[in-house]
Amino acid sequence: MEMTFNEAGPKITGKCGKCGKCYKKCSFKAIEKGNPYRVRSNRCDDCGDCISVCPVGAIELSSPF
C-alpha cells in the first residue's frame, strides 16, 4: 500500500508582501495570515491557486510533481 499523503503543500517564502491575495483565494482556508503568512499543510489541497494569484511569486511548491 502506497501512502502518497502530502503534508507539505506550498511554501510561502520571504518575498511575501502580505497583500492577502492568497488568503482570499484559497478555497480551503489553508492560508494563515501572519508574519510571515503560512500554509497550513493539513488543510491544503495542493490546488495551486495561491501560487497563481501571488503577484510577487512568493509561493513555491515544496515538492515537485
Binding interface with ligand SF4 (CB under 6 A):
9-10, 12, 16-22, 25-26, 28, 30-31, 37, 39, 44-50, 53-54, 56, 58-59
Closest approach, Cβ 11 to ligand SF4, in A, equals 10
Instruction: Return d(Cα 61, Cα 13) in angstroms, integer.
Output: 10
Question: Can you say whether the dihedral through the CA atoms of 17, 22, 28, 29 is positive or negative?
Answer: positive
Residue 61 CB, nearest distance to ligand SF4 (Å)? Answer: 9
Angle made by CA atoms 11, 43, 45, in degrees to the nearest 5 = 75
Q: Which is nearer to ligand SF4, 1 or 65 (CB)?
A: 65
